[in-house]
Structure 1
Amino acid sequence: MTGSTILPSATLRVRRVPDWCVTYAIASFGALLSVALSGHIGGQLNNFFHLSILAGLYNEPQFANDPFIQSLRFYSSGFWQLLSGRVHGQDVYAILFVFQILSRTLLFLGFLSWASLLGIDSPKERLVFTALLAVSSPLHAFSHAGGGGLLINNFTQSELANGTTLLALAWAARGRVTAAFAMNGVTFFINAFIAVWTAVPLAFILWSQGRRHEWTWPALLRQAGVGLVLFGLLAAPVVYNILSNPYARPADFDYVTYLTSFYPDHFLIWTISFRDVCLLTGVFCCGVLAAQMLRAPGSYLTAALCGAAAVWIFGVFLPFATHARMLLNLHLLRSGSTVHLMAATAIAALSTRWIFSRNEMDRLVWAPALILLSCSLKPLLPLAIPLLLWQRTSPVITGSWRVYAPAALLLPVVLFNVARIYHAMASDRADIARRNEWQALGTWARTQTKPDAVFLVPPGALRDSGMFPRASADQEQLSAGVVVFPYFSHRQAWVFAQAGAAVMWAPAYYQTWRSRVTEVRTLQTLPQRLSYAAAHGIAYVVDGCTQADSQAQAARFDRLCVFAAPGVSTP
């Protein structure tokens, strides 16, 4: 055959991309899509604690007598303690963003570790599965009836532990007991109480495997023993930190009363609305139904879901049985986040299976309908329960409507999630503007005031439990963004409402925190706050500029003005 060339067989081979590369690429896609939907802003919520640790403020002499800052030495997360004193300046925002991306990538690697267990194998199927999880309503923001963090707009160690939890449970379902226990040790290092939650669904999975004779006692004990040794090594630094905490002496107050006054949603069922409990129940029921309809008994997804729910149910009754600090500090109601994670996995897997089904009804009607209910407004998810039950009866919908069903059902999902991205961007811009005011104020304080100067700042919002005087709305609005003030100022603040969380690991701080918050919230005007500051040796008061007295003003930062307290030594 003239004019043709026979190529060597080696040149005809198409190089196959390694599966791990595909998996990481898909997980990275899920991470970026989920961050676009949730938004991201560094210096929010629990970053209040993390920033002070990153800056190592407790090592600076001006904080030697600050009980809140000193207690952060014993903030029991090995992740943050590894970084103690290693981050300074504005670089912290970039670092927190990188951590957010890595955390989300780990989370989606955890989800993908469940994919093959649920019959989702091809790259195309895994990509769709990942996209559905990124837009899943059960994963949006916080869990119902407990407030566990899911896809939120800031980075914390608790959300990082969501990924390690998924990996530990998936490895247990595969019979890799040593690896599962070791990964739970990683979870303990990151966030100890999440590792305690995870032990229960791990036990449910092992028990279910035992009923199916998938392990023998000698093999199980051998694997579990090695796993527990690895767990112990990883948990040891955190356990040491907890045991060496000098502030952790027994509480001389009622712990449930304190929780009621601070943030009871993680702990006390009677503070949670009936609506939220119903929504969590709906998430669980949808997850169980979807897991059953996947017909993947070897995945043990139902066992994991039931184990996670058992932890939450135990948390409902725990405060009725005991007021012990160490037990209540397990945040058991917050474990509803694991219920959300496992339920979202089941629902997204079922939707994916239907999308690629040869059955026209599954592909054109049931998959779009389930996506509509699970990837838009959160309160719509319970409506998926009758949908799933109806689908099990295998009704056939005829007519031209079936052809137009995908567009009719999926268009609202697309519009809703586009609106979510727009809202996240707008919300982040507003939050960043408020945060930057406090950053500028903090930078000024560090360069223009004495290191031992103390500031009276708006303390921030608290749940209206009736245990504290009601603060003015202006003061609560001014406190937006105050989280970054200690990090940038390296100056003491008299009290923060959010600092009450330190009572969980430092009960000795309770009386100081409660008395200061009570006193400051009774102050209704700038003259009252200046007088209070002068009486307590507080050098500066931060207040709204609408109350400004130009003669007393030391500095101004848009909404925020700094006033020197009369009679207190300032530079």
Structure 2
Amino acid sequence: MTETSLTMPVDRREGATSLPAPFVDTLTIAVAGSLLSILTSGYVFGVENNIFHLPIVAGLYNEPQYQDDAFIQSMRYFASGIWIVLADTQKYFGHTEQIFFALNFLSRLLSVLGFLCCASLLGITDRRDRIVFTLLICSMPLLFGYIPAGTGGLFINCFTHSEIANGTILLGVYFAARARFTAATVALGVTFFVNAFMAIWLAPLLALIAIGLLIKKETSLGTVCLRTAIGVVIIAPIMFPVLHAILSNPELGKSLGVDYAAYLHEYFAGHSLIDSISMSGILQMVAVTTLGAVALYWFGPTARELQIAYLGAIALYLIGVVVPSISTSPFILNIQLLRSSTIIYLLAGLAIAALATCWLRRDSSGLFLPGCAIVLSLYLGDAAFLIAISIILASTRFEAATSAAPPNRRKLGYAMLALAGGVMFPVCAWQYFIFNRSNSEATQEWADVANWARMSTPASATFIVPLTPNREAKPSPSIRDIALSRAGNFEFISHRRVWVDYKRGAAAMWTPSYYVVWHQRMTETAAANDHASRLAYAAGKGIGYVVEICDTLPPQDAGDVSFRTAHLCVSPVKRQAAGL
């Protein structure tokens, strides 16, 4: 195999500059699929991990009121190349929400292109197949949201840098499978630029694929080494900014002062510790892993490189299950091997979508009806995985070669496709819409509070924000209350300090000294469990304002607020505390 580009040969006519038709087709399909997936997942600005990203874009760590704010100052060492590039750019470009949306689209586009490239390894090459495959990839619930057993992000409703790496991982696997090791190494370097620990997941998969090709004598060790060396030269300047940010961190290697596993249980252990994952999440992980394995097995030797990558991803996850019982080293746990389940889901989704596409090629095939049944099953929730596995196991290659679907089975198959596309998919999309509407309304309310704070409070003002509700409480907190507890865009808009919140605990991973601050403040604010005690606590700490969900305010205090939205009330501390 030669080190060539992804595109087909260009027009050789003199003066010809047009792009090759297969490339245009693939790009057009990927763009349409990306738009479909974003319409399905929705998009919200200023939620989830944007609480880390937006202070970097706003350059808050350069402002005087934040010079002693341990959390905001820790953002200087948030070592992703995306945020290194975007640091302190708000004052120059503005329109950060539009920039995030554009990056979200490009991230999604990169993932869809990665899926299409890997699908070509499974015989998905003509236009019709690529369209069907993309429709499945960009609509099946399996690839939306967060993975229960590892909490990796797939197609999610906001922009974060890690999801960019989903696309570069798929492309890295594709290039390696084609023995294009220079390109695969570049994909590894770009992955490192985006998210260093995701590059650590990818590296052994590329090595395993290379070993597989060497065993089959489809390449030579000298070729692999030479092309990889060329790739290393190319990626060195790409990786440098991230390496510099990591190595320049003055707290690199510093101890947290407590057992690291205990800290993760206190903050969020889902990326690293298997005992934090529910049994239902583990069972779903087993079902999805089995589904992907069965689907890839169906393709036989033609899928050998993808099968190798899949086995490697499973091995990474199993190592992540076992290693914490041997070592609780921060370095090891921060690789977040349970989160590498993202790769298992990506490859499982690729395999099942490609298999269904192959079975749907001809409605006269004996596998047309099973293919339609698989498509329908993918929209049926967790039971979908077991149903799809059963269908694949019941459909042999012999049946594919000898059976033909009679007219009544073809009609039933088309009815299943109509049910999947006309009913089940819209129902799933509507559920995403309802969830996103609550988040959008909450972020808008926080934006209103933030705009008021910027205009009406001193730059040195500090705010206490609502505590994150306990999701395991009975009755369960509403989507609205959970969304209102996430003040992800407040500091970005207001340039006013937040005392503490749950999400900020992640900063202890790269600046361990922040753990003491976060732990103490979280403990104290949790103990102040009613409005009066929160005002008293705020007064003792010199905090100027307390933000509450209005429904939780005592009736006597509900009217004595400085600013309110539909659900958020801001109480001034000094005036209220004087009457305690």
Question: Would you call these one fold, judging by a TM-score over 0.5?
Answer: yes
Q: Matches of 2:514 and 2:283 in 1, distance apart? A: 36
Which of the residues 91, 108, 111 maps onto 1:104? 108
Task: Tell me which moved more, 296-305 or 439-448.
Answer: 296-305
Unaligned runs of 5+ in 2: 1-12
Matched, 1:491 2:499: no
Q: What is residue 56 of structure 2 aligned with on the other side? A: 53
Matched, 1:411 2:418: yes
1:276 to 1:473, Cα distance in 2 relative to 1, 3 A? closer
Matched, 1:367 2:371: yes
Secondary structure of 1:507's counterpart equals coil
Q: What is residue 174 of structure 1 aligned with on the other side? A: 178
Q: What is residue 197 of structure 2 aligned with on the other side? A: 193
1:462: Cα distance to partner? 6.1
Residues 346-402 of structure 1 show CA distances to partners (whole Å, capped at 9, x for unaligned) of: 111111111114752122x12101212234424311222221111016455876641
Q: What is residue 561 of structure 1 aligned with on the other side? A: 569
Q: Matches of 2:61 and 2:477 in 1, distance apart? A: 31
Q: Matches of 1:530 and 1:474 in 2, distance apart? A: 26
Equivalent residues in 2 for 1:272-291, closer than 5 Å: 272-291=277-296
1:361 to 1:204, Cα distance in 2 relative to 1, 3 A? same
Equivalent residues in 2 for 1:280-359, closer than 5 Å: 280-297=285-302, 300-357=305-362
Residues 441-486 of structure 1 show CA distances to partners (whole Å, capped at 9, x for unaligned) of: 1111111111111111113246779xxxxx9999964743411111
Secondary structure of 1:361's counterpart equals coil
Q: Matches of 2:372 and 2:111 in 1, distance apart? A: 25
Q: What is residue 507 of structure 1 aligned with on the other side? A: 512
Count of residues in Structure 1 that have an aligned counterpart in Structure 2 = 552
Which of the residues 36, 39, 50 maps onto 1:36? 39
CA contact (8 A) 2:539 2:577 kept: no
Q: What is residue 231 of structure 2 aligned with on the other side? A: 227
Q: Matches of 2:503 and 2:548 in 1, distance apart? A: 18
Which of the residues 524, 539, 546 maps onto 1:541? 546
1:477 to 1:345, Cα distance in 2 relative to 1, 3 A? closer
Equivalent residues in 2 for 1:416-455, closer than 5 Å: 416-455=424-463
1:73: Cα distance to partner? 0.7
Unaligned runs of 5+ in 1: 1-9, 466-470
Matched, 1:529 2:541: no
Q: Matches of 1:109 and 1:477 in 2, distance apart? A: 34
Q: Matches of 1:301 and 1:161 in 2, distance apart? A: 18
Residues 505-548 of structure 1 show CA distances to partners (whole Å, capped at 9, x for unaligned) of: 11111111011111101112211111111100101111233426
1:551 to 1:276, Cα distance in 2 relative to 1, 3 A? closer
Residues 139-184 of structure 1 show CA distances to partners (whole Å, capped at 9, x for unaligned) of: 1212241111001111111111100111111000000001101111
Residue identity in the other structure for 2:468: G
Q: Matches of 1:205 and 1:222 in 2, distance apart? A: 16
1:137 to 1:561, Cα distance in 2 relative to 1, 3 A? closer
Residue identity in the other structure for 1:23: T
Residues 549-570 of structure 1 show CA distances to partners (whole Å, capped at 9, x for unaligned) of: 3774222222212111127999
Q: Matches of 2:279 and 2:242 in 1, distance apart? A: 36
Residue identity in the other structure for 1:442: A
Q: Matches of 2:431 and 2:284 in 1, distance apart? A: 23
1:412: Cα distance to partner? 3.2
Secondary structure of 2:355's counterpart equals helix
Secondary structure of 1:563's counterpart equals strand
CA contact (8 A) 2:438 2:480 kept: no
1:56 to 1:322, Cα distance in 2 relative to 1, 3 A? same
Secondary structure of 2:44's counterpart equals coil
1:358 to 1:531, Cα distance in 2 relative to 1, 3 A? closer
1:409: Cα distance to partner? 2.2
Which of the residues 76, 94, 98 maps onto 2:98? 94
Task: Tell me which moved more, 231-240 or 205-214.
Answer: 231-240
CA contact (8 A) 1:144 1:336 kept: no
CA contact (8 A) 2:442 2:480 kept: no
Q: Matches of 1:36 and 1:121 in 2, distance apart? A: 26
1:191 to 1:456, Cα distance in 2 relative to 1, 3 A? same
Q: What is residue 142 of structure 1 aligned with on the other side? A: 146
Secondary structure of 1:566's counterpart equals helix
Q: Matches of 2:219 and 2:363 in 1, distance apart? A: 36
Please provide the CA RMSD for this pair.
Answer: 2.6
CA contact (8 A) 2:182 2:231 kept: yes
Q: Matches of 2:185 and 2:418 in 1, distance apart? A: 43
Residues 103-150 of structure 1 show CA distances to partners (whole Å, capped at 9, x for unaligned) of: 111111111111322111111211111111112232121224111100
Matched, 1:269 2:277: no
